[in-house]
Amino acid sequence: MRLNEGTLGGLARWLQAREISSVELTRSVLERIQAVEPRIRAYLTVMAEAALAMAEEADRRLSNGENVGPLTGIPIALKDNLCTVGTATTCGSKILPNFVPPYDATVVERLKQAGAVFVGKTNLDEFAMGSSTENSAYQVTANPWDVERVPGGSSGGSAAAVSADECIGALGSDTGGSIRQPAGFCSVVGLKTTYGRVSRYGLVAFASSLDQIGPLAKTVEDAAILMNAIAGRDPADSTSADVPVPDYTESLGRDVKGLRIGVPREYFVAGMDREVEAAVRAAIAHLAGLGAEAVEISLPHTDYAVAVYYLCATAEASSNLARYDGVHYGHRTAGQDNIIDMYTKTRHDGFGNEVKRRIMLGTYALSAGYYDAYYLKALRVRTLIKRDFERAFETCDVILTPTSPTPPFKIGEKTDDPLQMYLSDIFTISVNLAGIPAISIPCGFCEATGRPLPIGLQLMAPAFGEEVLFRVAHVYEQTTDSHKRRPALE
Amino acid sequence: MELEPVMGFEVHAELKTKSKVFCGCKNSFGDPPNSNVCPVCLGMPGVLPVLNRRAFELAMRVAIALDCEIAERAAFDRKNYYYPDLPKNYQISQQYAILGRNGRLDIVVDGQTRRIGINNVHLEEDAGKNVHPEHPGAKYSLVDLNRAGVPLLEIVSEPDLRSRDEAEVYMKALRSLLQYCDASDCKMQEGSLRYELNISMRPPGGPLPDYRVEVKNLASMKSVLRAIDYEIRRQTAMLEEGRRIARETALWDDLAGETRTMRSKEGAQDYRYFPEPDLVEVRIDSEWKERVRRELPELQDQRCARFASVFGLPEYDARLLTQSRLLADYFEEAVRLHANPKAIGNWIMTEILRVLGEEVEPDDLKVRPAHLAQLVEMIDSGRISGKIAKQVFPVMLETGRSPDEIVREKGLAQISDASALEGVVDEVIGENAGVAEDYRSGKDKALGRLVGQIMRKTKGQANPQLVNDLLRKKLRGE
């Protein structure tokens, strides 16, 4: 096994035992990046030199036993909507082509303090708006399992990088499924935390009341280790929760006896891929076999989730993206002689079509005469969706669903039909609206096309219930094989 | 056609906190452009606002001082519009869950008390400043974001003002209240206090008009008053011609002395207000409200009453001296140094009030309370006469030097030493034998002429009382 193919947990133990060095490990990752990037294109920026410098520093810490933790010396990739000091942060957009932040996102700072090594910034749908990473203004990332298919989105770059062993772990962001759906598509673990569990400071905002940063990793343990490092109250983020952070690795290695698994009838819909449904139902049976109890539940307002999301999220986005105006940073279209032309031409040139679409939708939803009928109404229905979950969790401990209705689709397949694209988030979106945590883990493969295409299993828990997610996910992972398979990419 | 003005004000006051309202940058006027900025107030990607609790409390203090109903849950909303001095292209303000509502400010106009309603008091962030280059044809503007994020208190009155005088008194009273609350510097010339006028006309006592003209760009109280006069004339003329006035926003052009339409409010700008998702609501419980109320600094009425009772000042004097907090502070400091409140009060009312103005605060004067105190002390101890003091004061005012220094330098000290005066007294008696005789034969008034001559010979420095005594003694042969 090459070093870059290891898991975070395993490599951490070797690093701390000084059996390997961070520089070796980082080199292995960088070599892998060089080898497969022409086909995968997961990275917008590879930070080779900086990574090796960080690796050397990590090795120093590891030798001195100074401030060493499981992340010390581990190569991590960061989604390119996370601000990193001194390194371009483009958000996959032409409106921020050379934006070099003078500050780190809080999560980036925390990983730095933990001694992580940053290998690069990964590709995403522009401003995290999309479900395939095809909306990036720079490049299309390929799914390592089938390079003609999408890795999912918007954290497609991070998911692909983890899946292709181009990093040991990664951070992404999730507003409507942007960590979980690509994790499902790439057969890796992806966690969206409870709203407020992780600081959003330094995450370029898309929809402020929905965005959360989370880990993408090769195993459940790896995800737990990353969570330990990034979670917790941040005074710079007023919406970050003042709730103590447990050691999430303590949730691993427990059993699921007596745990009630809620299966929502609304999530097993016509139009779902048959193999996806079969794999997920098999997972339910598997967990039942291990002592869990499957319970049918109902989330009656599920059908409204996509509509609510595309009103709330776009409304907030239309405001959050107003700052990209060419005045004080980012792209400015030259040659205009009045401010209105400068604004309109800059934003016309700088933003891609999906971003424009959402800004217009959001502006409309907030506009005078429509605010009550759209935005306010959406907020009210959002509360109903949240209540659905609260009620459901009275009769179960976790909710289990597929992550996506289909396996990864082909590049270009849905780009002509935005609504079709929006429906790929149908299972993940309610989670963000309710503010609860959810994880996607590998749960099998579709074989119908001849190439194995990943299927993701989603587990949801009540607010601040990440521990039960890790518990169930770990049991499932350790008693199945999907996570051991690697994409055939040589 | 008899018409009366219907006026209200929207006042913006910058709160004098150390830091801005949503970040830790320095809140300070006059620093080099873009030197008090950080990623948050610059609206860079990924940043988030954090509420400055001190700013919020100051806002609460003013709302309480204005007798507002304080919200149990106050929250912030985004006001969305594009402008280069607004880095995020939205302003964090309050629209749906405002801090204070339904308050009042009582003003006294021509001896009558009028209650002016305060519709609401809310907290928001200020924008930066656009600086337009002076040369014509310039194809650029400069943006200074030092002011972006400074805490701004907006105080909206009901349209209860009915005359220019009422408007003037209201502006001054509100300014005074803000200063008494120690909430704002209230310096219009620095932009820490800004007035927007809403004005329309109606038949006296009639229904509220269906339009109003919002006048902006009023840089001083004088401009406000001029604008009021202008609008009253303009609107009256239009209404008398039977023309309808549309709801509009107008800019006051101080040089031309007129208002100009900025935009019609019929097609008003849509700010698409929605709750600010990056900030949590602020819960104000009764305990917090009570604490802020208890900690209210002494407001104008209380201070006035205290001046009257503790310093024994007449109501009129006390009112004048407390019309501004800075003036009241000035007075009290002087009295602290020399306990003659009546005299110090008089000096302020006669000599200092007239040099104060919109842009000259007591703190700007070269004459400091200590100097004034010393001057009065010197009169009280007989070191100089009141008349001499009146010569000394202008020099103090202009140079900021202490009276002691001035008196020394000019040799103006009163001569109170009898032996020093004896010679002059004898001289004058000798030169005015006839007048002296008049006095001896019972014409009391004759003394005055002798006193006058002695004062002239001593350049006014002789202690008049002593001169009187000496003359009487010598003339009566005592």
pLDDT in tens, A451-469: 999 999 999 999 999 999 9
Cα A30 to the center of its chain, rounded Å? 22
Each residue of A311-360: pLDDT tens digit? 999 999 999 999 999 999 999 999 988 899 999 999 999 999 999 999 99
Each residue of A370-414: pLDDT tens digit? 999 999 999 999 999 999 999 999 999 999 999 999 999 999 998
- Average pLDDT rounded to a whole number, residues B459-477: 82
Q: List C-alpha distances in Å: A335 to A259, A341, A342, B217, B243.
A: 64, 9, 8, 31, 44
Q: How confident is the model at residue A431 (pLDDT cuts 50, 70, 90)?
A: very high
Q: Helix (H, G, I), strand (E, B), or coil: what is residue A63?
A: helix
Q: Do A323 and B280 touch (CB under 8 A)?
A: no
Cβ-Cβ contacts under 8 Å, B145 against chain A: 328
Range of the domain at A85: 3-259+395-484
At B236 the pLDDT is 94
- Distance between CA atoms of residues B153 and A352, nearest Å: 39
**A178 is a catalytic site residue:** yes
Has residue B277 got a pLDDT over 60? yes
Has residue B266 got a pLDDT over 60? no
| CB A149, CB A410: distance < 8 Å | yes
Has residue A490 got a pLDDT over 70? no
Q: How confident is the model at residue B264 (pLDDT cuts 50, 70, 90)?
A: low
Tokens of A358: 């959402």
Contact with chain A for residue B280, Cβ under 8 A: yes
* 3-class SS letters over chain B: CCCEEEEEEEEEEECCCCECCCCCCECCCCCCCCCCCCCCCCCCCCCCCCCCHHHHHHHHHHHHHCCCEECCEECCEEEECCCCCCCCCEEEECCCCCCEEEEEEEEEECCEEEEEEEEEEEEEECCCEEECCCCCCCCCCEEECCCCCCEEEEEEECCCECCHHHHHHHHHHHHHHHHHCCCCCCCHHHCCEEEEEEEEEECCCCCCCCCCEEEEEECCHHHHHHHHHHHHHHHHHHHHCCCCCCCEEEEEECCCCEEEEEEECCCCCCCCCEECCCCCCEECCHHHHHHHHHCCCCCHHHHHHHHHHHCCCCHHHHHHHCCCHHHHHHHHHHHHHCCCHHHHHHHHHHHHHHHCCCCCCHHHCCCCHHHHHHHHHHHHCCCCCHHHHHHHHHHHHHHCCCHHHHHHHHCCCCECCHHHHHHHHHHHHHHCHHHHHHHHCCCCCHHHHHHHHHHHHCCCCECHHHHHHHHHHHHCCC
How close A89 comes to chain B (CA, Å)?
Answer: 9
Q: Do A105 and B46 touch (CB under 8 A)?
A: yes
Let me know if residue A304 belongs to a domain: no
Q: List C-alpha distances in Å: A428 to A177, A269, A424.
A: 5, 14, 9
Q: Do A328 and B90 touch (CB under 8 A)?
A: no
- Point out which residues pair with A191 in neighbouring strands: A439
B354 contacts: CB under 8 Å, gap ≥ 6: none
Q: Please report, as a single letter, which amino acid is at residue A283.
A: A
Closest CA to A322 of A351, A295, A281: A351
Let me know if residue A309 belongs to a domain: no
Let me know if residue A220 belongs to a domain: yes
Each residue of A200-225: pLDDT tens digit? 999 999 999 999 999 999 999 999 99
Contact with chain A for residue B294, Cβ under 8 A: no
* % of chain A with per-residue pLDDT over 70: 100
Of B82, B84, B145, the CB nearest to A322: B82
User: According to the CATH classification, is domain B418-475 in 1.10.10.410?
Assistant: yes
How close B54 comes to chain A (CA, Å)?
Answer: 16
**Torsion angle in degrees (nearest 10) through CA of A390, A394, A395, A396:** 70
Let me know if residue A266 belongs to a domain: no
* % of chain B with per-residue pLDDT over 70: 99
pTM for the whole thing?
0.90
**A155 is a catalytic site residue:** no
Q: Do A205 and B46 touch (CB under 8 A)?
A: yes
Interface test with A, best of B278, B280, B283 (most A CBs within 10 A): B278
Each residue of A138-179: pLDDT tens digit? 999 999 999 999 999 999 999 999 999 999 999 999 999 999
Of A105, A239, A323, the CB nearest to B89: A323
* Chain B CA closest to residue A81: B46
Of A204, A235, A371, the CB nearest to B46: A204
For A38, list phi and psi in degrees, rounded to 5.
-55, -30
Q: Do A201 and B48 touch (CB under 8 A)?
A: yes
Let me know if residue A40 belongs to a domain: yes
Cβ-Cβ contacts under 8 Å, B277 against chain A: 208-209, 239, 316
Cβ-Cβ contacts under 8 Å, B46 against chain A: 81-83, 89, 101, 105, 200-205
At B478 the pLDDT is 54
- Average pLDDT rounded to a whole number, residues B9-20: 97
Which residue is catalytic, options A155, A178, A199, A430? Answer: A178
Which residue is catalytic, options A22, A132, A154, A173? Answer: A154
At B371 the pLDDT is 95
Of A209, A236, A337, the CB nearest to B48: A236
Tokens of B312: 């024994």
Mean pLDDT over each residue of chain B, to the nearest integer = 92
Interface test with B, best of A126, A366, A377, A379 (most B CBs within 10 A): A366
Cβ-Cβ contacts under 8 Å, A315 against chain B: 274
Cβ-Cβ contacts under 8 Å, A91 against chain B: 45
Q: Do B87 and A238 touch (CB under 8 A)?
A: no
How many cross-chain Cβ pairs, A to B, lie less than 8 Å apart?
99
Q: How confident is the model at residue B267 (pLDDT cuts 50, 70, 90)?
A: low
- Sheet with B77-80, strands from edge to edge, namely B90-93, B77-80, B274-275
Tokens of B24: 């830790």
Each residue of B284-343: pLDDT tens digit? 999 999 999 999 999 998 999 999 999 999 989 998 999 889 999 999 999 999 999 999
Q: List C-alpha distances in Å: A414 to A347, A409, B139.
A: 25, 8, 45
Each residue of A218-251: pLDDT tens digit? 999 999 999 999 999 999 999 999 999 999 999 9
Please list, residue by residue across B282-299, b when 16 or more beta carbons sit within 10 angstroms of its beta carbon and e when fewer do: bebeeeeeeebeeeeeee
Cβ-Cβ contacts under 8 Å, B43 against chain A: 323, 328
- Distance between CA atoms of residues A259 and A398, nearest Å: 8
Q: Do B277 and A209 touch (CB under 8 A)?
A: yes
Cβ-Cβ contacts under 8 Å, B131 against chain A: none
Q: How confident is the model at residue B47 (pLDDT cuts 50, 70, 90)?
A: very high
How close B119 comes to chain A (CA, Å)?
Answer: 23
* Chain B CA closest to residue A99: B45
Of B49, B89, B274, the CB nearest to A375: B274
Cβ-Cβ contacts under 8 Å, A319 against chain B: 78, 80, 90, 272, 274
Q: Helix (H, G, I), strand (E, B), or coil: what is residue A59?
A: helix
Q: Do A327 and B51 touch (CB under 8 A)?
A: no
Each residue of B101-143: pLDDT tens digit? 999 999 989 889 999 999 999 999 999 999 988 888 887 889 9
| CB B360, CB B328: distance < 8 Å | no
**A414 is a catalytic site residue:** no
Element housing A227 (H / E): helix A220-230
Query: What's the complex ipTM?
Result: 0.95
Q: How confident is the model at residue B467 (pLDDT cuts 50, 70, 90)?
A: confident
- Average pLDDT rounded to a whole number, residues B190-195: 93
Q: Where are the domains of chain B?
A: 4-288, 298-410, 418-475
For B418, list phi and psi in degrees, rounded to 5.
-55, -45
Please list, residue by residue across A70-101, b when 16 or more beta carbons sit within 10 angstroms of its beta carbon and e when fewer do: bbbbbbbbbbbbbbbeebbbbbbbbbbeebeb
Of B143, B277, B279, the CB nearest to A316: B277
Cβ-Cβ contacts under 8 Å, A211 against chain B: none
Which residue is catalytic, options A79, A121, A192, A414? Answer: A79
- Distance between CA atoms of residues B341 and B65, nearest Å: 28
- Average pLDDT rounded to a whole number, residues A3-15: 97
Let me know if residue A370 belongs to a domain: no
Number of domains in chain A: 1
Closest CA to A78 of A120, A36, A42, A45: A120
Tokens of A421: 């694209």
* % of chain B with per-residue pLDDT over 90: 68
Contact with chain A for residue B272, Cβ under 8 A: yes
Let me know if residue A267 belongs to a domain: no
Q: Do B46 and A101 touch (CB under 8 A)?
A: yes
At B263 the pLDDT is 64
- Distance between CA atoms of residues B273 and A113, nearest Å: 39
Q: Please report, as a single letter, which amino acid is at residue B276.
A: E
Q: Do A328 and B143 touch (CB under 8 A)?
A: yes
Let me know if residue A327 belongs to a domain: no
Where do we find the tokens 């205290």? B306
Cβ-Cβ contacts under 8 Å, A337 against chain B: 139
- Distance between CA atoms of residues A461 and A420, nearest Å: 28
Give me the CATH number covering residue A196.
3.90.1300.10
**Torsion angle in degrees (nearest 10) through CA of B317, B319, B324, B327:** 20
At B324 the pLDDT is 87
For A210, list phi and psi in degrees, rounded to 5.
-125, -30
